[in-house]
Structure 1
Amino acid sequence: MDTVVKHGEYADAGIPHYWIVDLDEPISLVSCHRAGELGYQDTPAATNSFTTTEPFPLELDLGKLRA
């Protein structure tokens, strides 16, 4: 759902960035960003920690999401 249906719906809505968080072990986060005509481009799933500068600087300790 998140990686197929939402890609199309969010692209149509003009949403430039979104994240998919999976709270099952191991907790992971996939960052999705618009890539022009191609729709969204996904980063490889991050585990343990997630760091980004887009759309704003952020560092997350993913293990603390279930603490």
Structure 2
Amino acid sequence: MNITLENQHSTITCPYCQASERLELPRGSSQHLYRCCACSNILKTKSGDCCIFCSFGDVDCSNAEQNLAA
């Protein structure tokens, strides 16, 4: 599966309140914390995941794809 990373977005869904927010995937860095826009809970990366997009998003980040290819 080939994913183009230019202006790629992922929708983060809060496991506490089910609110979702569409965010742009950061290039060259990982985001480990995210504050829910609805309930203000702080989401932390799950064990084994590299960032919040891999833990709570509908699209994995590019770092995960690169790690799988290595």
Q: TM-score, normalised on structure 2?
A: 0.30
Question: Which one has a larger percent strand, Structure 1 or Structure 2?
Answer: 1
Structure number with larger C-alpha Rg: 1
Question: Which one has a larger percent helix, Structure 1 or Structure 2?
Answer: 1
